[in-house]
């Protein structure tokens, strides 16, 4: 499916479709079972290079990615369990009884960097109690499929495939335009939100929850500093994500014609479609 939005905004990256499927495409990139990886980095490759990627309950890359893609509460598998993760995201496991010994084991098995974060904490939340409240609020779920597939929207056939959402990896100008378009026919509602969560979780379970609402919102992401670090070599430093549940995306697509995208203010920003633009 070709996107009117991508063409009108002269998008530099492919819009990425997320699908649930029981069939794994033979050309899809996939993490090896049990190996660490950042799910957002594979989303970024689909956006920048057009490479499809697939994730399963054995190949989700990291615990947060397993949660974010919809494979249940994978934090139960984190070193030290859910409590260990709550301390990891906040002020660390160094003061926990047995923390130093486990940190030494992790240094040899998972590397010094992860062991350092595990012991001292990523400090993204104030303390473990705050982290636990965050986990309790998350829309964790088990999706009814074997795989999560992400691929360029233009390689997707919505008549044969059930698309869950579409994500744009984009700069501030186009992010602003996407926000305007999301509000184009619903200006009295909060149609775009920025949830606090991992990058893959915003594109995954948080977007899944929006899709179930009568009036789903689009979600802005990549406020996840760890994910930003991981995708910078692929996408640069100024990219954010904008994820629209499928029903909202279709409404936005239908409103491109005769909108602000055809007026001088948008063109003055220098993003007028050119020959060969997606």
Q: pLDDT (tens digit, 9 = 90+) per residue, 207-238? A: 999 999 999 999 999 999 999 999 999 999 99
pLDDT at 151 over 90: yes
Rounded Cα distance, 8 and 266, in Å: 10
Confidence of residue 277 (pLDDT cuts 50, 70, 90): very low
| 240 and 219 inside one domain | yes
| 95 and 118 inside one domain | yes
Percent of the chain, pLDDT > 90?
86
| 133 and 147 inside one domain | no
| 82 and 40 inside one domain | no
Residue 147 in any domain: the answer is yes
Query: Region 21-48: what's the mean pLDDT?
Result: 95
Show the tokens assigned to 240. Answer: 């954010």
Spatial CA neighbour of 199 closest among 47, 82, 77, 97? 47
pLDDT reported for residue 191: 96
Q: How many CB atoms lie within 10 A of CB 105?
A: 11
pLDDT reported for residue 96: 86
Confidence of residue 109 (pLDDT cuts 50, 70, 90): confident
**pLDDT digits over 155-199, tens only?**
999 999 999 999 999 999 999 999 999 999 988 889 999 999 999
Per the structure, the count of domains in the chain is 2
Q: Is 218 helix (H, G, I), strand (E, B) or coil?
A: strand
Q: Which residues contact 88 (CB under 8 A, 6 or more apart)?
A: 78, 80, 117, 118, 121, 122
Rounded Cα distance, 197 and 10, in Å: 29
| 162 and 264 inside one domain | yes
| 225 and 114 inside one domain | no
pLDDT reported for residue 108: 78
Tell how far CA 269 is from the center of its chain. 27
CB distance 235 to 13 below 8 Å: yes
Q: What are phi and psi of 208, to 5 degrees?
A: -60, -40
pLDDT at 120 over 60: yes
Rounded Cα distance, 9 and 267, in Å: 9
Which residue, of 86, 119, 137, is where some domain finishes? 137
Which residue, of 83, 104, 137, is where some domain finishes? 137
Q: Is 152 helix (H, G, I), strand (E, B) or coil?
A: strand
Domain that holds residue 215: 4-64+142-268
| 31 and 78 inside one domain | no
pLDDT at 275 over 80: no
Which residue, of 106, 137, 168, is where some domain finishes? 137
| 55 and 10 inside one domain | yes
| 8 and 93 inside one domain | no
Residue 98 in any domain: the answer is yes
112-120 helix and 99-109 helix, angle to the nearest 10 degrees = 160
- Alpha helices, DSSP H, located in the chain: 4-8, 39-49, 63-69, 81-89, 99-109, 112-120, 128-137, 172-182, 199-203, 205-211, 225-235, 246-254, 264-268
β partners of residue 245? 165
| 124 and 147 inside one domain | no
pLDDT reported for residue 160: 94
CB distance 50 to 239 below 8 Å: no
Give me the sign of the Cα torsion angle 202, 212, 256, 42: positive
pLDDT at 18 over 60: yes
Query: Region 85-114: what's the mean pLDDT?
Result: 87
Residue 15 in any domain: the answer is yes
Rounded Cα distance, 31 and 42, in Å: 9
Confidence of residue 278 (pLDDT cuts 50, 70, 90): very low
| Distance between first and last Cα of the chain | 11
Tokens 């670090």, residue located: 229
The pTM assigned to this predicted structure is: 0.94
Q: Output the average pLDDT for the chain.
A: 94
| 165 and 257 inside one domain | yes
| 80 and 157 inside one domain | no
């Amino acid at each position: 499916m070709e996107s009117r939005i991508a063409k009108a905004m002269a998008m530099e990256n492919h819009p990425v479709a997320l699908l649930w499927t029981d069939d794994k495409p033979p050309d899809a990139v996939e993490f090896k079972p049990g190996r660490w990886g950042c799910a957002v980095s594979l989303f970024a490759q689909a956006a920048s290079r057009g490479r499809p990627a697939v994730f399963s309950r054995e190949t989700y890359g990291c615990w947060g990615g397993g949660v974010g893609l919809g494979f249940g509460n994978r934090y139960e598998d984190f070193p030290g369990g859910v409590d260990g993760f709550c301390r990891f995201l906040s002020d660390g496991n160094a003061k926990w009884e047995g923390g130093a010994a486990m940190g030494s084991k992790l240094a040899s098995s998972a590397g010094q960097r992860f062991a350092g974060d595990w012991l001292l904490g990523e400090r993204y939340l104030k303390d473990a109690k705050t982290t636990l409240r965050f986990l309790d609020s998350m829309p964790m779920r088990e999706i009814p499929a074997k795989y999560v597939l992400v691929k360029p929207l233009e390689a997707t056939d919505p008549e044969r495939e059930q698309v869950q959402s579409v994500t744009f990896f984009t700069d501030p100008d186009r992010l602003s335009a996407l926000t305007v378009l999301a509000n184009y026919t619903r200006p009295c509602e909060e149609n775009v939100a920025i949830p606090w969560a991992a990058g893959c979780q915003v594109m995954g379970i948080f977007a899944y929850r929006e899709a179930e609402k009568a009036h789903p919102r689009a979600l802005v992401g990549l406020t996840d500093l760890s994910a930003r670090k991981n995708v910078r070599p692929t996408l640069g430093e100024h990219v954010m994500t904008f994820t629209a549940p499928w029903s909202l995306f279709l409404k936005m697509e239908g409103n491109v014609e005769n909108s602000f995208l055809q007026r001088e203010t948008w063109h003055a920003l220098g993003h007028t479609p050119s020959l060969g633009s997606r």
